Amino acid sequence: MPEEFDPYILGIFCNWCSYAGADAAGTSRMQRPANLRIIRVMCSGRVDATFVLKALANGADGILICGCFPGDCHYVEGNYKTERKIPIVQKLISQFGINPNRVKLQWISASDSVELTELVKEYVEEIRELGPNPMKKEKREKWEKEKS
Residues that bind ligand FES (CB under 6 A): 14, 16-17, 43-45, 67-68, 73-75, 78-79
Question: Residue 49 and residue 97: Cα distance in Å, rounded?
Answer: 16
At residue 57, φ and ψ (nearest 5 deg) are: -65, -30
Instruction: Identify which of residues 108 and 120 has a Cβ nearer to ligand FES in the complex.
Output: 108
- Residue with smaller CB distance to ligand FES, 119 or 130: 119
CB of 82 to ligand FES, least distance (A): 7
Question: Please, what is the minimum distance in Å from the beta carbon of residue 145 to ligand FES?
Answer: 41
C-alpha distances in angstroms, 75 versus 10, 38, 112, 122, 137?
Answer: 23, 21, 20, 29, 40
We find the least distance from the C-beta atom of residue 68 to ligand FES, in angstroms, to be: 3
Shorter beta-carbon distance to ligand FES: residue 14 or 60: 14
Distance separating alpha carbons of residues 56 and 61, to the nearest angstrom: 7
Least distance CB 69 / ligand FES (angstroms)? 8
Give 71-94 as a DSSP string.
Answer: T--TTSSHHHHHHHHHHHHHHHHH
Closer residue to ligand FES (CB): 77 or 129: 77
